[in-house]
Amino acid sequence: GAGVSQSPSNKVTEKGKDVELRCDPISGHTALYWYRQSLGQGLEFLIYFQGNSAPDKSGLPSDRFSAERTGGSVSTLTIQRTQQEDSAVYLCAAGRTLQETQYFGPGTRLLVL
Amino acid sequence: DAKTTQPTSMDCAEGRAANLPCNHSTISGNEYVYWYRQIHSQGPQYIIHGLKNNETNEMASLIITEDRKSSTLILPHATLRDTAVYYCIVRVAYSGAGSYQLTFGKGTKLSVIP
């Protein structure tokens, strides 16, 4: 595709439920990043993947958050036992390599009630 | 922590050039200056980046001072659609030199006025 796509666009869930957010990066872009943006806040790094290397998970806020990338392409961010403070826009970005420009998707707006 | 300083907000008249400044006095030799913008409710959009030389593309120009401690993003003919928050970010360029994630500050909210 022409750009990074994310699904769903919006997700409303109840506290305590698990959610999965999906990112489809630009074809051939081996670096993939997840960020989140809480209301009125800046973007916060969560995790990145580069090819088959071990991901950098240093930004994940708790062990309720995890991410995987299958086949070096699509990535899924999973939040277990969601809390209200998890409400945010979750953004995915992709780059040809880790060193090159990151291009962002439209984001998934998550609301935890 | 963000390594850049930007004004909180700026106004620009439609059709005029918008000049957005950024200070990055602690930038190191292997760090690029990147500019992104975020229009309300959308993901950040890449604009331009540079290392030492001035850069120009179809969206904007980037002027980097000789000492690399500051830069200016220029939108030559601002339109209402350029109203957004503009982020100036320094980011490591070379493998092994550090982390590759982007660190966003608060940016400059640019309002283009009709």
% of chain B beyond a pLDDT of 70: 95
Main-chain dihedrals φ then ψ at residue A45, nearest 5 degrees: -70, 140
Q: From residue B42, give the alpha-carbon distance in Å to each of A59, A97, B15.
A: 22, 24, 24
Contact yes or no for A45 and B102 at CB 8 A = yes
Q: What is the pLDDT of residues A7-51, one digit of tens each?
A: 999 999 999 999 999 999 998 899 999 999 998 778 999 999 988
Shortest CA distance to A63 belongs to which of A79, A85, A48? A79
Please indicate whether residue A99 or residue A109 has the higher confidence score (pLDDT): A109
Interface probe, candidates B46, B91, B100, chain A, greatest A C-beta count within 10 A:
B100
Q: What is the pLDDT of residues A85-108, one digit of tens each?
A: 999 999 999 999 888 999 999 999
Q: Which residue of A has its CA nearest to B33?
A: A101
Contact yes or no for A56 and B43 at CB 8 A = no
Query: pLDDT band at B98, cuts 50/70/90?
Result: low
Contact yes or no for B2 and A42 at CB 8 A = yes
Interface probe, candidates B101, B108, B109, chain A, greatest A C-beta count within 10 A:
B101
Q: What is the pLDDT of residues B53-91, one digit of tens each?
A: 999 999 999 999 999 999 999 999 999 999 999 999 999
- On average, the pLDDT of chain B sits at 92
Instruction: Please give the Cα distance from B20 to A1 (Å, whole number).
Output: 32
Nearest-5° Cα angle at B49, B35 to A99: 105
Instruction: Please give the Cα distance from A94 to B47 (Å, whole number).
Output: 15
Q: Does B93 touch chain A (CB under 8 A)?
A: yes
Q: What is the pLDDT of residues B57-67, one digit of tens each?
A: 999 999 999 99
pLDDT value at position B30?
Answer: 85
CB nearest A101 (choices: B49, B94, B95): B49
Q: Which residue of A has its CA nearest to B97?
A: A99
Contacts of B28 (CB under 8 A, 6+ apart): none
